[in-house]
């Protein structure tokens, strides 16, 4: 009898695995789990901190994005470039994280600029008026150079 229970237990475990595997497969096919994926790289280029978010900035991932920006500002790195080449989506929570740092950044003679926005991400920024508040560049190199040519001058000052 113990063998039968063990077999059933093994079968249940196998079914649970198959069910879990099927759930993740379906979630990946419809993009559900991808909405919680965010990786962020930060590097220094020409006096600017280049922040490269990859994936989705939303309610699930905004704290990671916000912590990155806060860490830069607290560390005195106030020339911040958001290179959005690999950013698939940004929610209002993500936009709020940017707005939450802009005053401190500009008070310290820096700025937050944007580059390499995909069309859908640009549309979000533009629709909400962020393209009036932040400089947007097609290429990272132009954005980095803007810090050197601006010499502390930024939008909103």
17 domain residue, yes or no: yes
User: Is residue 103 domain-resident?
Assistant: yes
Which phi and psi angles does 128 have, rounded to 5°? -90, 5
Residues 13 and 41 in one domain: no
Q: Are residues 64 and 133 in the same domain?
A: yes
144 shares a domain with 128: yes
pLDDT tens digits for 56-96? 999 999 999 999 999 999 999 999 999 999 999 999 999 99
Question: Quick one: which of 142, 138, 77 has its CA closest to 111?
Answer: 77
Note whether 82 and 129 are same-domain residues: yes
Same domain? For 20 and 84 the reply is no
> What pLDDT does 136 receive?
97
Same domain, yes or no: 43 and 94: yes
Q: Computed from CA positions of residues 134, 139, 145, 149, in that sequence, does the dihedral angle turn out positive or negative?
A: negative
> Does residue 155 lie in a domain region?
no
Q: Do 108 and 63 sit in the same domain of this protein?
A: yes
Q: For a pLDDT cut of 90, what percent of the chain falls above it?
A: 71
- Residues above pLDDT 70, as percent of the chain: 72
pLDDT score for 35 = 62
Do residues 99 and 25 both lie within one domain? no
25 and 49 fall within a common domain: no
Looking at the structure, do residues 16 and 65 belong to the same domain, yes or no?
A: no
Within-domain flag for 156: no
Residue 10 lies in a domain: yes
Q: What is the pTM of this model?
A: 0.74
- Please list, residue by residue across 72-104, b when 16 or more beta carbons sit within 10 angstroms of its beta carbon and e when fewer do: bbeeebbbbbbbbeebbbbbebbbebbeebbee
Q: What is the CATH number of the domain that holds 50?
A: 3.30.750.24
Structurally, the chain folds into a number of domains equal to 2
* Same domain for 81 and 8: no
> What's the chain look like in SS3?
CHHHHHHHHHHHHHHHHHHHHHHHHHHHHHCCHHHHCEEEEEEEECCEEEEEEEEEECCCCHHHHHHHHHHHHHCCCCEEEEECCCEEEECHHHHHHHHHHHHHHHHCCCEEEEECCCHHHHHHHHHCCHHHHCCEECCHHHHHHHHHHHCCCCCCC
Q: Which domain holds residue 7?
A: 2-30
- Backbone Cα Rg of the chain: 22
Q: Are 23 and 74 within one domain?
A: no
């Amino acid at each position: 009898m113990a063998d039968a229970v063990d077999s059933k237990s093994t079968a249940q475990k196998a079914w649970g695995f198959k069910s879990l595997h099927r759930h993740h497969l379906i979630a990946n096919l419809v993009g559900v789990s991808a909405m919680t994926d965010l990786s962020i790289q930060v590097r220094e280029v020409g006096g600017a901190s280049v922040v490269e978010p990859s994936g989705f900035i939303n309610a699930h991932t905004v704290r990671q994005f916000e912590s990155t920006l806060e860490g830069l500002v607290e560390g005195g790195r106030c020339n911040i470039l958001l290179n959005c080449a690999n950013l698939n989506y940004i929610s209002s929570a993500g936009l709020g994280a940017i707005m939450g740092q802009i005053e401190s950044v500009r008070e310290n003679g820096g700025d937050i600029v944007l580059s390499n926005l995909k069309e859908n991400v640009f549309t979000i920024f533009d629709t909400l008026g962020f393209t009036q508040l932040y400089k947007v560049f097609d290429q990272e190199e132009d954005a980095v150079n803007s810090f050197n040519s601006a010499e502390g001058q930024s939008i909103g000052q």
